[in-house]
Amino acid sequence: MSSGLLALLDDVAALTKVAAASVDDVVGYAAKAGAKSAGLVIDDTAVTPRYVVGFTADRELPIVAKIAVGSVRNKLLFLLPAALALGMFAPWAITPLLMLGGAYLSFEGAEKVWEAVVPHKGGEERLERARAVLDAETMERQRVASAIRTDFILSAEIMAITLYAIPATGFWPRAVALALVGIGITAGVYGAVALLVKADDFGVLIGRNRSRSLLGAVGRHLGLAIVRTMPKFLELLASVGTAAMLWVGGGIVIHGLEELGVPWPAHAVEAMAEAVAHRVPVAAGAVGWLVGAVAAGVAGLTLGAVLIPLVSGVLAPLWSRLSAFRR
């Protein structure tokens, strides 16, 4: 009887070790996928604050909360089941779909660069007219819906990257890893967005203190600095987000081509990174990574520049006609 009990305890201990190893694997998969999604996270954080522009301060956090809830719904209710089904029944489609998302990111990034170089005329005037016509509640509803649609595309790419980063494993480890990445990235992105959109209010708050102490004087100067620098910081963050879109999009397409049997773009980037890294032996790893990221960004910008006339001249008019026909 005692030997049977000991055998049972041994089995329980073995199962516990297996379960612990599985948890470690899932967390490792989620961390790896989250790191690979870093560029998209930066872009998502940079893009979202513009959706609260034009609203009163008391509506900023509720709007961010609504977008965050929509983002979680996108990831867990729609994209996670789709990713699991894709991994089970059509794993061959993961790389082409990932490349399609990379092409979209390249297009979006290139379009932002083009907008910065040659601003579209009339955009601000149209926006002001729209604000004048719509009441605040309707505009908030439309802005949140637009943000959630944009988030769906970025979330789909994040989930595809996660699915690609997770090795072929069981259903539940893959599902848990996808859920962890989805929830973790959403919390990180929209938590950062909430801090960004309220930073100027915090600056005003601490800048208005009337204390004559040293701490009060430091608070006033810090508050003034926050208020003055936040617009520039948001512009810088938007630029970093655009660069991240091009880097991630170009890198996804390059590595996807390698997976599909066209290895020379990836090999060319690797050779360039290694050649430059050899010239700077002190920081070879960092320099090699930077060169590879810049090369991927240039590839993304080139691809996006090619796609701009195709989308604006062919796909957008075609979509408009189809939409009109459905009505």
91-130 pLDDT per residue, tens: 888 888 888 888 988 998 899 898 888 876 555 555 555 5
pLDDT band at 227 (very low <50, low <70, confident <90, very high): confident
pLDDT at 13 over 50: no
Q: What is the 3-state composition of the chain as percent helix, strand, coil, each rounded to the nearest 5?
A: 90, 0, 10
d(CA 246, CA 106): 5
Residues 292, 268: Cα–Cα separation, whole Å: 10
Residue 176 is which amino acid?
V
Most confident of 55-59, 86-90, 256-260: 256-260
Half-sphere exposure of 22 (CA within 13 A, CB side): 14
Q: How far apart are CA 318 and CA 322, in angstroms?
A: 6
How many Å apart are CA 4 and CA 67, to the nearest integer?
56
pLDDT over 90 (residue 264): yes
The single-letter code of the amino acid at 154 is L
Quick check: 287 and 277 in contact, CB under 8 A? yes
The whole-number average pLDDT for the span 140-145 is 86
Where does 119-170 have alpha helices with state H? 123-133, 136-165
pLDDT at site 167: 65
When pLDDT is averaged across residues 175-189 and rounded to a whole number, the result is 83
In this prediction, residue 4 carries a pLDDT of 46
Q: How far is CA 258 from CA 42, 116, 215, 262, in A?
A: 26, 32, 58, 5
Provide the residue type at 100 as one letter. L
Q: For residues 76-86, give the mean pLDDT.
A: 89
> What percent of the chain lies above the pLDDT cut of 70?
78
Which among 193, 280, 200 has a CA at the least distance from the CA of 238?
193
The domains of the chain are located at 23-237
